[in-house]
């Protein structure tokens, strides 16, 4: 098939075939990470700007490494040492960098839709590295990749996402991706963190973790942001842990070979007990490794071929 | 100076008139209305096939003077108004400084007279600095010419203060206008709460925040016996609350904006900040009930909530961009497109909501075509259409979600106090050929 998109903005508008094509492309890059020299110069001479308006360690480093593996020239931007502090608007920042003739922006921003409206205005590629609570497509793609590698398929699997669904871009992108690939998706959390009408996205929602865990193949735990407590969304971390932490005991309710995933960074001792670190079903670090080849695949598909 | 308007279809909702008639204007006033007037007037407008209506009244306009003259001045606001067929606009007090004291009210009133091409009537704030803490000098502002009181975008959250404001306003027999939104419930929401806010990851503003506020204000209106006008209804529940209140005889009236009966929350998926409006665009079902409310008379006013914003501010991201869109220049056409052409309202019923009904609520002698009264008229062509273009707006701002739309109904002439203050530039060109 042909992948003709200019941008990667979200999983909502990708087709099932496009998602599989991205996963297959990533698979073909897998060997590179284990080589002695980890570089394939297929995008030599291309320039990518990583624009992160929100804090990020994993995603930013993963993109940068993916870019360097492909021999891309990389520019990193963070608002703390830039003219954004002088009040320059996002559009102006982008248009100024664009005037330097770059090929692609990797953008993280706290407001939903920011990469979407910029993509309409500029001729070069935009990769959404997270826009508020809206989408985080590369994370969802690496999650799908990780599940497929471990389970051999995605269709018909029962996948449970647990935690702050309301504020999670990871949850939204995964819901789009998983439902397109015909997995059976459940979400679970306190009602204050489950957004209205989430079931219209084709998932089933649960308030009891015990019920939700019955017979699942994959468990995705989300990070609990402590500041939600002050907004009146739940009473205390202690109480949250009581109801929604994945204890060893609760874990027994899932299938014996259920995968344990987390987009990171983990609040150990809150959503996941410390002991899960040693659990052999925990694939959290594998997700991080897969993130690089997924991002290499995206960069290659957007920049490496003629549109 | 006399002006004879010949052969137009005269619609005066106040008297349920809809006939081909001639109208003779002399000076500021309407001298004569009759089937056939033969008089050698100084100027004659031949308008057969066109509608002649009382000049439109907008009881919900935002002008940005004083404070943000780059976005709209009192003068530029009146230019936008005449292009849309309005001859009276009432401006909300959220200026800087706000219209919360008689000096600012007087400034607006007089500046409107001096610089405006039509009538600008100020609305005074209910509370000082629109903070909802202490009553403003409503009496002094009344003397300075305000026609209603409102804290506009800031709903008076303090129930006691709102009660006292309603009571106090009785002295002047002026209505209070309430932007009903319980902000402790909408918080920092930017769009309607529902499926689309869920998938877009944008904070929602539940419709219940509007319903709760309306319920409280209706209850206070009943308790005090004072008239209450509810600004821009946006959802089905609000229409039901107002309908029930009217059935109980409570003195409540309500308005809706053209965008709230034209667009749904689905528009927000474009992330175009011209879909960011407060109250937010709602669901298909709400639009249906709003139209039903217009048809059965629950909603008696159509108002624009014309809210100019600079391109710098509207080009910020969706969360940071301000709420609001301009509306004066597209209102009449959207009414024709959504209500008249879709048989929700007859043209007379629709025009009533833009003329005599707001005049009655504000207790001003406007909005009719009657011998001896001021000659404020709009003449428009129902059979022509136009395309909304950014560069053609007479407003200083161009934040409209309707740019690019082809709309029915073209304003040919707007006449204020006997003078033609606007003529459609395209029609003029044709006449010269």
| Region B313-339 average pLDDT | 96
Tell me: pLDDT of B94 over 70: yes
Same domain, B41 and B64: no
Number of H helices, E strands in chain B: 15, 17
Q: How confident is the model at residue A230, as a pLDDT?
A: 73
Same domain, A24 and A89: yes
The domain containing residue B353 runs over which residues?
A: 55-362
Q: What are phi and psi of A23, to 5 degrees?
A: -65, -40
- Using the Cβ of A109 and the Cβ atoms of chain B, whether some distance falls under 8 Å is answered with yes
| Region B64-73 average pLDDT | 96
Same domain, A173 and A263: yes
Q: How far apart are CA A274 and CA A284, in angstroms?
A: 13
B chain contacts of residue A117, beta-carbon cutoff 8 Å: 271-272, 317
Distance from CA of A196 to the nearest CA of B (A): 6
Same domain, A158 and A223: yes
Same domain, B181 and B319: yes
| Region A173-197 average pLDDT | 96
- Residue A155 resides in a domain: yes
Same domain, A96 and A198: no
Specify the CATH number for the domain of residue A109: 3.40.50.1370
Q: Please, are residues B294 and B346 in contact by the beta-carbon 8 Å criterion?
A: no
- Whether A116 and B200 lie within 8 Å, measured CB to CB: no
Percentage helix, strand, coil for chain B under 3-state DSSP, each rounded to 5: 35, 25, 40
Q: How confident is the model at residue B432, as a pLDDT?
A: 42
Same domain, A42 and A142: no
| pTM for this entry | 0.93
- Using the Cβ of B194 and the Cβ atoms of chain A, whether some distance falls under 8 Å is answered with yes
Q: How confident is the model at residue B11, as a pLDDT?
A: 98
Same domain, A152 and A101: no
Q: What is the pLDDT of residues B339-373, one digit of tens each?
A: 999 999 999 999 999 999 999 999 999 999 999 99
Q: How confident is the model at residue B428, as a pLDDT?
A: 57
Same domain, A144 and A200: yes
Overall domain count for chain A: 2
Specify the CATH number for the domain of residue B392: 2.30.40.10
Q: Please, are residues A19 and A11 in contact by the beta-carbon 8 Å criterion?
A: yes
- Residue A178 resides in a domain: yes
B279 prior amide bond cis, ω within 30 = yes
Same domain, B101 and B217: yes
- Whether B271 and A113 lie within 8 Å, measured CB to CB: yes
- Residue A7 resides in a domain: no
Q: Please, are residues A216 and A258 in contact by the beta-carbon 8 Å criterion?
A: yes
Same domain, A201 and A155: yes
Q: Please, are residues B340 and B350 in contact by the beta-carbon 8 Å criterion?
A: yes
- Residue B60 resides in a domain: yes
Q: How confident is the model at residue A189, as a pLDDT?
A: 97
Q: What is the pLDDT of residues B257-312, one digit of tens each?
A: 999 999 999 999 999 999 999 999 999 999 999 999 999 999 999 999 999 999 99
Choice among B18, B305, B317, B365 that is catalytic: B305
Q: What is the pLDDT of residues B206-235, one digit of tens each?
A: 999 999 999 999 999 999 999 999 999 999
Same domain, A175 and A296: no
Q: How confident is the model at residue A38, as a pLDDT?
A: 87
pLDDT band for position A84 (cuts 50, 70, 90): low
- Residue B368 resides in a domain: no
Q: Please, are residues B172 and B139 in contact by the beta-carbon 8 Å criterion?
A: yes
pLDDT band for position A149 (cuts 50, 70, 90): very high
Q: How far apart are CA B412 and CA B427, in angstroms?
A: 7
Same domain, B19 and B87: no
- Residue A3 resides in a domain: no
> Rounded to whole angstroms, what are the CA distances from A95 to A91, A111, A130, B270?
6, 19, 20, 21
Q: How confident is the model at residue B359, as a pLDDT?
A: 98
Q: How confident is the model at residue A87, as a pLDDT?
A: 63
Tell me: pLDDT of A228 over 90: no
Q: Find residues 264-303 of chain A whose CB sits inside 8 Å of chain B.
A: none
Question: Helix, strand or coil for residue A208?
Answer: coil
Question: Helix, strand or coil for residue A124?
Answer: coil
- Using the Cβ of B312 and the Cβ atoms of chain A, whether some distance falls under 8 Å is answered with yes
Same domain, B23 and B86: no
| Region B230-248 average pLDDT | 98
The per-residue pLDDT of chain A, averaged, comes to 93
Residue B305 is among the residues annotated as catalytic for this protein = yes
Residue where a domain stops, chosen among B362, B381, B408: B362
More confident residue, B432 or A54: A54
- Using the Cβ of A195 and the Cβ atoms of chain B, whether some distance falls under 8 Å is answered with yes
Q: How confident is the model at residue B420, as a pLDDT?
A: 97
The domain containing residue A21 runs over which residues?
A: 16-135+288-304
- Residue B394 resides in a domain: yes
Q: Please, are residues A36 and A92 in contact by the beta-carbon 8 Å criterion?
A: no
Same domain, B23 and B79: no
Q: How confident is the model at residue A307, as a pLDDT?
A: 55
Distance from CA of B356 to the nearest CA of A (A): 42
Overall domain count for chain B: 2
- Residue B387 resides in a domain: yes
- Residue A5 resides in a domain: no
The per-residue pLDDT of chain B, averaged, comes to 96
Smallest Cβ–Cβ distance between A201 and the set B199, B202, B272 belongs to B199
- Residue A58 resides in a domain: yes
């Amino acid at each position: 098939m042909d992948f003709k998109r200019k941008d990667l903005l979200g999983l909502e508008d990708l087709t099932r075939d496009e998602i599989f094509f991205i996963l297959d492309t990533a698979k073909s890059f897998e060997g590179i990470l284990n080589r002695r020299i980890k570089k394939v110069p297929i995008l030599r001479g291309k320039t990518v700007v990583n624009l992160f308006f929100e804090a990020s360690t994993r995603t930013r480093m993963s993109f940068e490494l993916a870019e360097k593996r492909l021999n891309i020239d990389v520019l990193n931007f963070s608002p703390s040492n830039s003219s954004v502090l002088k009040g320059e608007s996002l559009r102006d920042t982008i248009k100024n960098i664009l005037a330097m003739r770059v090929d692609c922006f990797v953008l993280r921003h706290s407001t939903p839709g920011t990469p979407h409206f910029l993509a309409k205005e500029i001729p070069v590629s935009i990769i959404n590295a997270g826009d508020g609570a809206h989408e985080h497509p590369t994370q969802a793609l690496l999650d799908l990749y990780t599940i497929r590698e471990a389970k051999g398929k995605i269709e018909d699997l029962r996948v449970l996402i647990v935690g702050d669904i309301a504020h999670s871009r990871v949850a939204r992108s995964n819901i789009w991706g998983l439902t397109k690939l015909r997995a059976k998706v459940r979400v679970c959390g306190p009602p204050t963190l489950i957004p209205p009408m989430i079931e219209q996205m084709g998932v089933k929602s649960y308030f009891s973790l015990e019920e939700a865990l019955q017979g699942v193949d994959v468990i995705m735990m989300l990070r609990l942001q402590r500041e939600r407590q002050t907004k009146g969304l739940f009473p205390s971390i202690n109480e949250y842990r009581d109801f929604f932490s994945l204890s060893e005991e609760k874990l027994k309710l899932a299938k014996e070979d259920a995968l344990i995933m987390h987009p990171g960074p983990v609040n150990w001792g809150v959503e996941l007990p410390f002991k899960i670190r040693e659990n052999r079903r925990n694939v959290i670090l594998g997700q991080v490794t897969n993130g690089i080849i997924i991002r290499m695949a995206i960069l290659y598909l957007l920049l490496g071929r003629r549109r | 100076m006399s002006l004879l308007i010949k052969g137009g279809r005269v619609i005066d909702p106040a008297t349920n008139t809809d006939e081909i008639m001639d109208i003779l204007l002399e000076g500021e006033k309407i001298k004569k209305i009759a089937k056939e007037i033969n008089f050698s007037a100084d100027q004659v407008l031949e308008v057969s096939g066109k509608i002649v209506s009382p000049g439109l009244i907008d009881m919900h306009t935002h002008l940005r003077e004083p404070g943000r003259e780059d976005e709209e001045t009192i003068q530029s606001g009146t230019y936008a108004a005449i292009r849309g067929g309005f001859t009276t606009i009432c401006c909300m007090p959220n200026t800087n400084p706000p219209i919360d004291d008689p000096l600012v009210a007087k400034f607006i009133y007089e500046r409107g007279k001096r610089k405006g091409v039509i009538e600008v009537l100020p609305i005074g704030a209910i509370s000082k600095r629109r903070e909802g803490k202490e009553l403003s000098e409503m009496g002094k502002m009344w003397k300075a010419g305000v026609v209603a009181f409102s804290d506009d975008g800031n709903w008076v959250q303090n129930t006691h203060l709102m009660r006292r404001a309603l009571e106090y306003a009785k002295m002047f027999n002026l209505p209070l206008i309430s932007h009903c939104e319980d902000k402790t419930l909408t918080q920092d929401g930017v769009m309607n709460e529902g499926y689309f806010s869920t998938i877009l990851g944008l904070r929602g503003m539940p419709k219940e925040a509007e319903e709760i506020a309306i319920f409280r204000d209706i209850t206070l209106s009943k308790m005090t016996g004072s008239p209450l006008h509810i600004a821009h209804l946006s959802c089905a529940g609000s229409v039901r609350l107002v309908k029930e209140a009217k059935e109980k005889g409570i003195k409540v009236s309500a308005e809706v904006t053209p965008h709230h009966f034209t667009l749904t929350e689905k528009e927000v998926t474009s992330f175009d900040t011209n879909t960011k409006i407060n109250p937010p665009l709602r669901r298909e079902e709400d639009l249906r009930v709003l139209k039903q409310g217009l048809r059965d008379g629950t909603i008696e006013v159509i108002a624009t909530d014309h809210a100019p914003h600079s391109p710098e501010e509207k080009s910020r991201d969706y969360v940071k961009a301000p709420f609001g869109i301009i509306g004066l220049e597209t209102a009449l056409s959207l009414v024709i497109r959504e209500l008249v052409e879709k048989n929700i309202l007859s043209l007379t019923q629709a025009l009533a909501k833009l003329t005599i009904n707001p005049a009655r609520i504000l207790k001003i002698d406007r909005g009719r075509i009657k011998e001896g009264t001021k000659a404020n008229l709009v003449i428009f062509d129902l059979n022509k259409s136009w395309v909304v273009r950014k560069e053609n707006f007479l407003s200083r701002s161009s934040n409209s979600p309707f740019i690019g739309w082809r709309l029915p109904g073209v304003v040919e002439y707007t006449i204020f106090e006997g003078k033609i203050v606007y003529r459609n530039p395209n029609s003029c060109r044709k006449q010269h050929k």
